[in-house]
Amino acid sequence: MLNPQIKAAEALRARPPATMTDPVELLAFVRQAQRDAVDAECGPALPLPVVVDVDAGGVPCRLYATRADAPVFVHVHGGGWMYGSIEAADRVSRRIADRSGCAVLAVGYRLAPEHPFPAALQDVETVLTFVRKSAAELGVDASRLAIGGDSSGAHLATIAARRQRDAGTPLDYQVLIYPVIDPLLASESFDELGAYGLTRESMRVAWETFIPDRAQRLTPDAAPLAADLTGMPPTLIITAEYDVLRDEGADYADALLSAGVPVVHTRYMGVNHGFARKLAVIDAARAATDQVASALRTQLTF
């Protein structure tokens, strides 16, 4: 059964009128509506000792920390590669920093359609390079480095993690919350769960906007399952029962396990796509965020 808190959360964000059909106008409306709903959906900002905006090699970021020389979690927000921001993910970043003891570096990567693939991926990789080079200046310990995010942010995170492995600079851990994995949109959950928010059509538009070239979508830098997954970092995957991305997240967990990668896959019941950042209104959001924090604390070895 769908948790009634999901419906309560949906009522907190403005929806575009049916008469609004221009893509540019719709994009601007949805971006603004998400910004306007942050306080209602996510609650007040948890105060932390360190919250500072950072220019990470030209990529805007925000650093959250509770102590010096902490391990680093690079946090990549979701939003179909077209929406989302550091501000939209701010409350989750703060909660993870507070409960994990890690420094969290939130990435303000460039969005499509203004900046299509590979701009967002390049920005995430720029941030990883910056963290390693500027750890002393930031007051963090980049020798213990994890990455993660939700939805399209999880997609960027795991592609970046695989590329870091290939470059000989492997990351220590990855956190993937209802990750986008399959550009073919082939899993059965798309047929079963399209009435609960995210749909096959909305994901088709997201993929086409982010990577207009269909052939490019099938390469390892876009489709995580097209790559050899041996040697990927230990992984936490969180999926949602009423999410069209549920099955591809589970398939990715299975593929990582088959490649010998340690994986914990947790499915949160009664919730849909996007639940995890709505800390003020969905109990499971707080549980999932705290699970992420606990895993980071354990994996990055305090």
Residue type, 194: G
Token pair of 299 as six digits: 């994996």
Distances (CA, A) of 132 to 1, 103, 257: 45, 13, 28
Q: Exposure pattern of 63-73 as b/e (b: 16+ CB <10 Å)?
A: bbbbeeebbbb
**What DSSP element (H or E) covers 55?**
strand 50-56
**Catalytic residue, candidates 123, 172, 243, 247:** 243
Token pair of 188 as six digits: 């059965």
CA 87/CA 61 separation, integer angstroms? 10
Q: Is 273 one of the annotated active-site residues of the chain?
A: yes
Q: How crowded is the C-beta side of 36, counted as CA atoms within 13 Å?
A: 11
**Catalytic residue, candidates 151, 152, 187, 189:** 151
Q: Are the C-beta atoms of residues 158 and 203 closer than 8 Å to each other? A: no
From 31, 41, 77, 294, select the one nearest 178 (Cα to Cα).
77
Q: Which positions are catalytic?
A: 151, 243, 273
